Amino acid sequence: MERTFVALKPDGVQRGLCGEVMKRFEQKGFRLVAAKFLQPSEDHMKQHYLDLKDMPFYAGLCKYMSSGPVFAMVWEGQGIVKMGRMMLGETNPADSKPGSIRGDFCINIGRNIIHGSDTVENAKTEIGLWFKAEEFVSYTPCAQTWVYE
């Protein structure tokens, strides 16, 4: 099964959307295999967003992401990276469709409440940055046979 990294940003946490995001992924049929609630350091966020280091918003993004608590999660399921991105919506909420997380809960790109890995390769890198091997749980949900053939 494929894995992806999803994190509720400080604005999503402050708005009380952790449960709603979890609910949507669970209802879709994906399995939560790791989660933690923390306030990351600015250095951690600089490493996480290293691919954006040359962008003019990089410093502000890293500072913002370390300004409050983040709810970091690893979800597992068939095609989850692509499907997870579809569930999140576009980076700019103005371009997101209703029914997506950003389409339903966001207005401004600087407060788009959630991060999700954009490729399988990036998911592996991000998961490794945020979680240790012993922080994962392995289980088979009782509904799994009703989700997958």
Tens-place pLDDT, residues 59-86? 999 999 999 999 999 999 999 999 999 9
97 is in an annotated binding site: no
- Which residue out of 4, 93, 115, 131 is catalytically annotated? 115
Rg value, the chain, Cα: 15
111 is in an annotated binding site: no
Establish whether 115 is a catalytic residue. yes
9 is in an annotated binding site: yes
Residues of the chain with pLDDT under 70: none
Using CA atoms, how far residue 61 sits from 32, 56, 115, 137, 144, in Å, is 26, 10, 12, 31, 38
Question: Using an 8 Å Cβ cutoff, are 72 and 38 in contact?
Answer: yes
Question: Using an 8 Å Cβ cutoff, are 103 and 96 in contact?
Answer: yes
Token couple for 74:
């690893």
